[in-house]
Amino acid sequence: MNIFLVRHGETEWNSLGRFQGQVDVTLNSRGIGQSLDIAKASFTWSLGAIYTSPLIRTMQVAEEIGRQIGLPVISDDRLMELSLGELEGITGLEMRTNWAEVYDNWRNNPGHTVLPGGESLSQLQKRGWDFLVEKEKEHQQDSAILFVSHNFTIRCIISYLLGMPWSHFHQTYLDLSSVCLIETDGNTRRLKSYNSTSHISYQNLSVTHG
């Protein structure tokens, strides 16, 4: 079975470089175009189910895919982005200036740094991986399923799959509207593709990320 992991498209906060965790921000016009590109690509994926974070920017992508291929969309909180707490909506410069100690901890020990009022990447990784294993068991007879989720959520799942130490986490990167692909037989899991954006048309490519 194939498990596709899709990151949502661009929002205004992405274009402005603002941190975006569990706050609800809609896709901008480019992000909507990206969701259409993803939906077109999904025709070849033989999907049996669509799961999504309940945040609006992921719901918009999942619902467009569902409309195109005729599948219902199921939301689950375990696919939500990292809870950033007090850091929602700030920029990287603001974090380095006003939360210097948190920033240093985040850079040096990202997996176990609990963001003020939020959660840690370790907590996020557990809920994300538990979700994958649960759905893997439920859909053994399907050819493929899809998760529409977020930057940190997908990177945490992939990091767990690869046995990557937290010290390497900041060396990974994930584009907006990218697709990752995990192949599984229920026992062995392999990463077949990471951060693919070949499905995005030229006019919908993002010039900024976040």
What is the C-alpha to C-alpha distance for residues 160 and 93, in angstroms, rounded to an integer? 29
Q: What is the pLDDT of residue 206?
A: 64
Query: Which of 10, 63, 81, 119 is an active site residue?
Result: 81
Annotated active-site residue 81? The verdict is yes
> 103 near 155, Cβ under 8 Å?
no
Number of domains into which the chain is organized:
1
Over residues 98-108, the pLDDT tens digits come to 999 999 999 99
pLDDT digits (tens, 9 = 90+) for 179-201: 999 999 988 999 999 999 999 98
Residue 192: inside a domain, yes or no?
Answer: yes
Does 90 reside within a domain? yes
> Given a cut of 90, is residue 26 above it in pLDDT?
yes
- The DSSP symbol for 199 reads T
Domain encompassing residue 57:
2-204
* Greatest alpha-carbon span in the chain: 51
Where residue 171 sits, what CATH number does that domain have? 3.40.50.1240
Per-residue pLDDT, averaged over 39-57, amounts to: 97
Q: Is the pLDDT of residue 203 over 90?
A: no
* Overall average pLDDT of the 45-72 stretch: 97
Would residue 179 count as lying in a domain? Answer: yes
Q: What is the average pLDDT across 87-97?
A: 96
The answer to whether residue 209 is domain-embedded is no
The percentage of residues in the chain with a pLDDT greater than 70, rounded to a whole number, is 96
What does pLDDT average to over the chain? 95
User: Known catalytic residue: 8?
Assistant: yes
- Identify whether 117 is part of a domain: yes
pLDDT one-digit tens code per residue, 117-151:
999 999 999 999 999 999 999 999 999 999 999 99
pLDDT given for residue 187 in this prediction: 87
Long-range contacts of residues 164-171, Cβ cutoff 8 Å, at least 24 apart? 166/109, 166/110, 166/111, 166/112, 166/121, 166/122, 169/110, 169/111, 169/121, 170/107, 170/110
Using CA atoms in the order 167, 155, 200, 203, what is the torsion angle rounded to 10 degrees? Answer: -60
Question: Does residue 210 lie within any of the structural domains?
Answer: no
Q: Are 115 and 81 in contact (CB under 8 A)?
A: no
Specify if 160 maps to a domain.
yes
Write the DSSP symbol of residue 142.
Answer: S
Please tell me the predicted confidence (pLDDT) of residue 176: 96
91, pLDDT greater than 50: yes
Q: Which of 8, 63, 64, 88 is flagged as catalytic?
A: 8
Using CA atoms, how far apart are residues 176 and 9, in angstroms rounded to an integer?
5
- From the number of C-beta atoms within 10 Å of its C-beta (0-12, 13-18, 19+), residue 29 rates as exposed
**Percentage of the residues of the chain whose pLDDT score is greater than 90:** 94
